[in-house]
Structure 1
């Protein structure tokens, strides 16, 4: 009650008397007024004053005894009950007058005439903060960080993982409503162009005020409200202090068994004119720093041009185990990165990103591969020891202007990778050595110009990539096929792919009422030179194998295309139709043997979205895509020590048809998000793979044959946050079905693979001193094949893993951290395996110095090996991995 009175009193100098009196009456106590004060109020000139309010109190205290206003003649009357005190206090308040206080004697009636002085009163500054956890304005959702963070969160990714409606994948990619974000901003600027792990892993939580989701975000401001998008962007809003100063993280860690280190320095600054992130990191505790350089928003042109490193040849290794990567990664990883954006003028900004990384990895694993063939079962044993030396250099320079009146963007990117691997398989005494460097550079230019009410767009993407790779295998394999059944020491496979790619286009757009028409005319060229050569050697003598194992291929694709997009927007719905017509010339020239073909492709897609109400939105996408490419290599390539592959085929043609439906629910008041999705696709091609096994050696070729394959996927997710108990619950289900065929040992094998998955995640803070995160995942793989008319049901494989992370605040700023992990894996006729891991840490926080001192004991149970079962078609893999044993790490973390 007293609080309400105080609010009204602060307003008395601004509101009319009648309103103040009404407000006070509505909240006043019950009582009978026995005493009366009457009088008049005038200013220092004797002029009657009537815009005055009077409040009566006891001499000391804030309980209101009575109140009143002044009529048009300057008169007032205040009635108040009998009080225990003999003295009372009368306060006179007015907007244009000085506050006046009179001390009076309490009696049944008295007459008081008051004189006030004129003055100018200003309202003290009032800052109103919206403390609601989630708010929405237009297409922007604001998450108040204070509502979701706990005092043990250090960097912003710790909080983003717990925001309702948002998910973070293992790679660090951020999803909103099950779709990857298309931009990651800090204060509205995109510094890292898709490599935003560097920000999320280093930006301190205490520097952030809010995380914003920008729904249906169009990155080009000139196209806002014109070109539709169904993806969101994420923007980080910093607090006032963080925008004014240098912020960062400094971490130093040393440990035992073996000697361990984990050291990071990250300096960040974000202000109106400039942003930068500079970081230097080094560790040998299993943390993969390469994730911070991954582009999580790859451009389609980068994928088409071969701008992603790939292995034309490879080393056979056991598949990645389904456990925390830090438990099985033996590394020595260093990363240095510098990123900055600053203005060149009022319109243009310049940004650069440069990073260098090196790593040395050691891996030890055993694998037993069982291949179930129509008439036989092949068993391959491989006990492997290996190491990998890896270096990466990435640099990017960009200029951008992005306003409602102009869009201009040009990015030059250079990437160089040096990588070499060595692997020894002791079970069959095979040595594998691989050198797989990679060079890629590209220039990506785009611009939109407004001409009256029309939009003219210009886009140009030009790239060059080079993959020279070398595989050395000893002793010699395939002696019957390659060397007339004579022994020899080893093989050396050389292969190099060089690709020049360009995709240039001009577009013209015009808005006609609710319809936007955009027509794009472009040219795409993909010119590739592939040459490979297989040599045998004995001692220092190098000689050629029996038969032809060389290719020297020129592959060219030239495509002219005209793409017309129609976007029709209504209040609650939108429809986008795209028709692409592309005459295409393809050629393949292998040592004088020429192939060429001309095709015209008609591809189209339809995307529709309808907002059912403020909570539900659904969308339907239909796509039909036809394409063709030459991928022929008549001579075999040694892909790995036990696999020879050739594609002596004509033009490879594909026809993809897909349909996707999604239903999304969003209620920010109850902090509940949900989505349901179903998709089906059918791919038809004219090429079928043919595999022939000779014990553990495989020969793969491609033949011309109709080859349909189907994919069905169903997914559902519910995410709910209970603010009153600071608890978030996320439940997801997924079912995937794939159907395809392959020829093995001369017989057609039809495969039917089914995957079912359930995930549950709970994060809760039941009180100020306890934080609990628990997640579990259950996955079931079921494979079936049809061979010679007979169905073969392979044993299902089940994975179940759960993780429980507990943080408890103790006395004197100490925090105890306990992490528990459980992994279960089984196959019907194999022994089920259970693994339990535990990590415990104690942390002391020095608040004034902003330093955390911690000691962490990892893998308390000292588990040193992990066994996993998994299926790939009719391959059952039984893998065993060497893990890190028990370790102790001391660490000091400083944030500023």
Structure 2
């Protein structure tokens, strides 16, 4: 399926015959030749000797860490079986060495639902931007994943995927938050210790028939997770926060596609999903206790059918259906008495939707045009003081793709939309999101509108080793409500005002590379730019703000035979914040990184590398840090490998950086993993 992390982090390279990256991949045979596809897929072809046999390998490692001080351990077992009718991958992993196992369980190809539930409680977590995550991830993690595929005698496939993930993560850091206000800046100092626990179980079961004339897939998914977070904070406001936010969901997706002749398609899709998201936040402060209890649950159903046919290079299709969303929200703010706060609310926000989405696809020689005209009619049903209402939405989009040459393409996209309100923000209550932040919703229905234009360019010349992709986008947005931020004492109040708000955003991306045959390597350049303009009502004063970020990262790599491999990279990041008539503020970060791998003989491999960070803390003041790693591996045979590694050789223990928020600046110093020594042994059957 789409959990590439399981395969790419587990299958031994000795068992892989070829790696295929398929662009414009159309996994459904029934759609081939009828519908454009911009999907990409990875296909791994096994060597013949690795088929129809039970493959198993594993790693066991142990060592010592200086921060947090104690023993290190890491272990994993990977098993695989590939036959003509049956495929299986089962893996077990555990570590406290900073490896985040949950990333390996991401499903890159799963269908996303149109509706979901968002949590309201949002405690600050310690993140370290621009730093490799394993340098600051103080964890104890376990993961079990088992995937099975069985082909039936009639051409169908049964798939079962069961995953379990357990994480215990600690973090420590200090921060200084400055809020820029017309009346004078407000500063909050915090020194935080946090402990997070997460348990998650996911089960995914599907049956699929994929033929040239007929496609059927039914997928049942169940997700259960328990998330607990405790934060002890000292500084401006001493307190302890305890948050619990379990999540339960069950969904079923059925898709049937039937092809008639060579140019007609009929599709039926049914999605049903139930989600429950209870949350509880308890704050202990100066001998008193207060907090927030929130209960949310929803049921979403979407039933749709579509018909399409091809006529003289034109694909016409019409998708239509009905959907329903039924959501309950109960909030209870307790332990705080304030006449300006609404402490309790029971609310239902439901809707029924009728929709139709005509689609026009036309191709002629080097040109492909795609026109979408989705139409939605919503009937909303609210409890409390909100009146029921009916809203109509039209959101056309047009894309033109020019295949200038077989190696070069240019795509232009434009869209205009009017979007329905986010039901998450429609409520009267004042919700405590962390120990000093309150979020009030909107007591009226609202919608937003916007337009966007984008242009992308692709060029590929595999023979000369030149690859180029660049894209730019600009968007305009308008909402019926604007945002409000007020700071009263140590508390921050976020709310909305019934006044139209306009914003603009722009982004650009560049990725170019060129292979260099003379040194058996490549040179590349990546660049990013984002810009956002908006306004907010701060302390009763309309405040315009503009944020920009730049990133530029050239790199080069090469190797000398199989003896020496090396990589060098430089990254420059800049963040800029401009608030009304105030002077602009900016922060520059520089990262120099590289590594070298030396293999003097097949028995020995030595790797060394690291990064040098130069982060701007304030004007004229920088924080510099050098981190080095090294690893020595003995390749005793194809089935046995022993290695010894030292990470953070210089024992750097803190990472300091500066970032910007809406009208704020954050200066933070987070705890890192100290010097670590690890010995591991790899065994393969």
In 1, are the aligned partners of 2:128 and 2:655 still within 8 Å (CA)?
A: no
Aligned counterparts of 2:568 and 2:119: Cα–Cα separation in 1:
37
- Output aligned runs, 1:201-212, within 5 Å: 201-212=9-20
1:618 and 2:410 aligned: yes
Establish whether residue 604 from structure 1 lines up as the match of residue 403 from structure 2.
no
Q: Does 1:810 align with 2:600?
A: yes
**Consecutive aligned runs of 4 or more in structure 1 exceeding 4 Å deviation:** 543-547
After superposing the two structures, state which structure 1 stretch, 565-574 or 284-293, moved more.
565-574
Is contact 1:717-1:732 (8 Å) kept? yes
The reply on whether 1:287 has 2:99 as its aligned counterpart is yes
How does the TM-score come out when normalised to structure 1? Answer: 0.74
Tell me how far apart the structure 2 counterparts of residues 748 and 792 of structure 1 sit (CA, whole Å).
Answer: 14
* 1:435-584 correspondence runs (5 A): 435-452=244-261, 453-475=263-285, 489-536=288-335, 548-584=342-378
Matches within 5 A, 1:866-885: 866-885=655-674
Where does residue 115 of structure 1 map in the other structure?
Answer: none
Q: Distance in 1 between matches of 2:567 and 2:10?
A: 21
Please give the per-residue CA displacement for 1:726-762, whole angstroms capped at 9, x wherever unaligned: 2022211222111111111011111111111101232
Q: Deviations over 1:445-476 (max 9, x none)?
A: 11101234421100011111111000000117
CA distance, structure 2, for counterparts of residue 724 and residue 761 of structure 1: 17
Specify the alignment match of 1:102 in structure 2.
none
Please, which moves more after superposition, 353-362 or 687-696? 687-696
Question: What is the 5 A alignment of 1:247-258?
Answer: 247-257=55-65, 258=70
**1:43 corresponding residue in structure 2:** none
Contact 2:232–2:241 (Cα < 8 Å) also in 1: yes
Contact 2:310 2:316 in 1 (8 A): yes
**SS across alignment from 1:241:** helix
Distance in 2 (CA, whole Å) between partners of 1:550 and 1:773 is 58
Who is 1:736 aligned against?
530
1:761 aligns with 2:555: yes
The residue that corresponds to 2:81 in the other structure is: 269
Greater relative contact order (Cα 8 A, min sep 6): structure 1 or 2? 2
Q: In the alignment, does 2:446 pair up with 1:656?
A: no
Shift of 1:298: 4.7
Q: How far did residue 426 of structure 1 move? A: 2.0
Residues 473-525 of structure 1: CA deviation (Å, up to 9, x unaligned) = 0117xxxxxxxxxxx71112100111111121011111112111111111121
Which deviates more from structure 2 when the two are superposed, residues 353-362 or residues 803-812?
803-812
Cross-structure match for 2:51: 243
**8 Å contact from structure 2 (residues 176, 188) kept in 1:** yes
Q: Output the CA distance in 1 between the equivalents of 2:27 and 2:504.
A: 34
Q: Give a deviation string over 1:413-454, Cα, whole Å, max 9, x none.
A: 000001111110022320000001011111111110123442
Partner of 1:324: 132
Q: 2: distance between equivalents of 1:238 and 1:760?
A: 35
Distance 1:605 1:853, change over 3 A: same
For residues 749 and 706 of structure 1, the distance between their equivalents in structure 2, rounded to whole angstroms, comes to 14
Q: What's the offset of the Cα at 1:306?
A: 1.3
Query: Does 2:68 match 1:260?
Result: no
Give, in whole Å, the separation in 1 of the partners of 2:516 and 2:85. Answer: 39
- Match status 1:838 vs 2:628: yes
Answer whether contact 1:379 1:696 (CA < 8 A) is retained. no
Tell me the distance in 1 between the aligned counterparts of 2:417 and 2:41. 28
List aligned pairs for 1:708-747, cutoff 5 A: 708-747=502-541
Taking structure 2 as the reference length, the TM-score comes to 0.96
Gaps of 5+ in 2: none
CA distance in 2, matches of 1:206, 1:670: 29
Superposition deviation, residue 234 in structure 1 = 2.2
Matched, 1:412 2:220: yes
Name the counterpart of 1:859.
Answer: 648
Cα distance, 1:217–1:706 mapped onto 2, change above 3 Å: same
Q: Is the CA contact 2:143–2:165 (under 8 Å) kept in the aligned structure 1?
A: yes
CA distance in 2, matches of 1:873, 1:689: 11
* Counterpart-to-counterpart distance in 1, 2:542 and 2:48: 66
Q: Is the 8 A contact 1:499 1:528 kept in 2?
A: yes
How far apart are residue 607 of structure 1 and its match? 1.4
Secondary structure at the counterpart of residue 846 of structure 1: coil
Deviation at 1:215, TM superposition (A): 2.1
**Does the CA contact (< 8 Å) of 1:536 and 1:545 recur in 2?**
no
Deviates more, 1:391-400 or 1:797-806: 797-806
Say if 1:544 and 1:781 are closer, same or farther in 2 by CA, change over 3 A: closer
Gaps of 5+ in 1: 1-191, 477-487, 538-542
- 1:723 Cα shift? 4.0
- The equivalent of 1:113 in structure 2 is none
d(CA) in 1 for partners of 2:575, 2:289: 38
Structure 1 residue aligned with 2:174, among 366, 390, 396?
366
Match for residue 238 of structure 2 among 429, 436, 444: 429
State whether residues 617 and 623 of structure 2, in contact with CA within 8 Å, keep that contact through their aligned partners in structure 1: no
- Partner deviation per Cα, 1:764-792 (whole Å, 9 max, x = no partner): 21222111122221111111111xxxx22
Q: 1:811 to 1:228 in 2, by over 3 A?
A: closer
Structure 2 Cα separation of the partners of residues 633 and 599 of structure 1? 19
User: Given that residues 341 and 430 in structure 2 are in contact (C-alpha distance below 8 angstroms), is that contact kept between their aligned partners in structure 1?
Assistant: no
Find the partner of 1:222 among 17, 30, 33. 30
The total of aligned residue pairs comes to 677
Distance 1:830 1:646, change over 3 A: farther
Match of 1:683 among 474, 477, 497: 477
**Paired residue secondary structure (1:612):** strand
CA drift of 1:276 comes to 1.3
Distance across 2 between alignment mates of 1:318 and 1:855: 30
Distance in 2, matches of 1:330 and 1:336, equals 20
Larger gyration radius, structure 1 or structure 2: 1
Q: Does 1:886 align with 2:675?
A: yes
- Contact in 1 for aligned 2:411/2:455 (Cα 8 Å): yes
1:306 to 113, 116, 126: 116
Name the SS for the 2:651 alignment partner.
coil
Post-superposition CA distance 1:606-637 (Å, at most 9, x none): 11111111221111111222122243211211
- Describe the shift of the 1:581–1:819 C-alpha distance in structure 2 as closer, same or farther (beyond 3 A): same
How far off is 1:725 after superposition?
A: 2.8
In 1: Cα distance, 2:615 partner to 2:343 partner: 42
| SS in structure 2 of the partner of residue 320 of structure 1 | coil
Question: Contact 1:649–1:703 at 8 Å: present in 2 too?
Answer: no
CA RMSD of aligned residues (A): 1.8
CA–CA distance in 1 between the matches of 2:476 and 2:663? Answer: 22
Alpha-carbon separation, structure 2, partners of 1:405 and 1:797: 58
Report the counterpart of residue 154 of structure 2 in structure 1: 346
